[in-house]
Amino acid sequence: MNNFIKTLTFCSLFIISLLLKKSPAIAFSLTLESQINNDYSYTIDLDADDALDLGDRLILTNLSGVTAASANSPYTIDSSDFDLTSANFAVDTAISGTNTLTGVISLTSADALDGLEYQAFYSDNGTPRVASGNIVAVPFNVSPNLGILILLSGFGCHRLKRKLISKLNKDLP
């Protein structure tokens, strides 16, 4: 029985590790990296065939209460390029290839930025493309590793409880 449980646990961990393996980004994607109080930070993923060329744009709409916007390379933004409800970022440094641009843009808003919509202009193998989507803020972030740890802890506690009950039943007359 112990070998069965060990095998089952190993197989479960192997399957979970396969599911959590990070796959390459598909085309252009914009994701919420973090939210601390009223500050929102976003990450952009590009795949190997994608490029951001000078003049390409990232347009954010459906915002509310935006009081500040900032960008890191390759994007830039001027104070005239955003208002309470939208922001318009421009590429000022061309890049290409697989890239994860962590914290590349940031917004400060007194309101929750739930339902942000974006439109991104980029190149795919030299062909101009437009990506669009929306981002829904999550109430809290839980890393996949923490989720697995919680699940395995629950499984371990349940198993320990069964062992203790079994031992107590043996010790009772």
81-107 pLDDT, tens digit each: 999 999 999 999 999 887 889 999 999
* 46 pLDDT more than 70: yes
CB neighbourhood size of 143 (10 A): 9
CA-based nearest residue to 30, from 134, 127, 126: 134
Fold of 28-135: Immunoglobulin-like (2.60.40)
CB pairs under 8 A, 24+ apart, for 21-28?
A: 24/48, 24/98, 25/98, 25/100, 27/124, 27/129, 27/131, 28/120, 28/122, 28/129, 28/131
Cis peptide, bond prior to residue 74, ω within 30 of zero? yes
Q: What confidence tier does 112 reach under pLDDT thresholds 50, 70, 90?
A: confident
Lookup result for tokens 């590793």: 145
pLDDT of residue 150: 77
Q: Which residue has the higher pLDDT, 58 or 136?
A: 58
CA-based nearest residue to 89, from 126, 116, 112, 114: 116
Q: Which residue has the higher pLDDT, 134 or 154?
A: 134
Q: Which two tokens stand for residue 40?
A: 């929102």
Kind of pairing between the strands at 95-96 and 50-52: antiparallel
* 131 pLDDT more than 70: yes
Residue ranges of domains in the chain: 2-21+143-171, 28-135
* 137 pLDDT more than 70: no
